[in-house]
Amino acid sequence: MNEEKKCVIVLLKGLPIGLAANAAAILGITVGKELPELVGESVMDADEKIHLGIVERPIPVLSCKEEDMREILERLDVMDDSDMAVVDFTQLAQRCKTYWEYIEKMAVTPGKDLVYTGIALCGEKKKVDKLTGNLALLR
Domain map of the chain by residue range? Answer: 5-137
What pLDDT shows up at residue 83? 83
What pLDDT shows up at residue 25? 96
Q: Coil, helix or strand for 60?
A: coil
pLDDT band at 2; cut points 50, 70, 90: low
Residue of 64, 59, 65, 62 lying closest to 137 (CA atoms): 62
Integer Cα distance of 74 and 81 in angstroms: 12
Integer Cα distance of 62 and 53 in angstroms: 23
What is the mean predicted confidence (pLDDT) over 3-9? Answer: 88
- Summarised one tens digit per residue, pLDDT across range 43-99 is 999 999 999 999 988 999 999 999 999 999 999 888 876 789 999 999 999 999 999
Q: At residue 106, does pLDDT exceed 80?
A: yes
CB 122 within 8 A of CB 84: yes
Q: At residue 100, does pLDDT exceed 70?
A: yes
In this prediction the pTM is 0.91
What pLDDT shows up at residue 14? 95
Residue of 111, 119, 125 lying closest to 31 (CA atoms): 119
Q: Which residues are CB-contacts of 99 (< 8 A; sequence separation ≥ 6)?
A: none
pLDDT band at 33; cut points 50, 70, 90: very high
Helix axes 125-132, 66-78, angle to 10 degrees: 140
What pLDDT shows up at residue 5? 87
Helix or strand (DSSP H, E) at 20: helix 17-34
> Domain 5-137 belongs to what topology?
Bit1 (3.40.1490)
What is the number of alpha carbons within 13 Å of residue 7 lying toward its C-beta? 25
What is the mean predicted confidence (pLDDT) over 10-18? Answer: 96
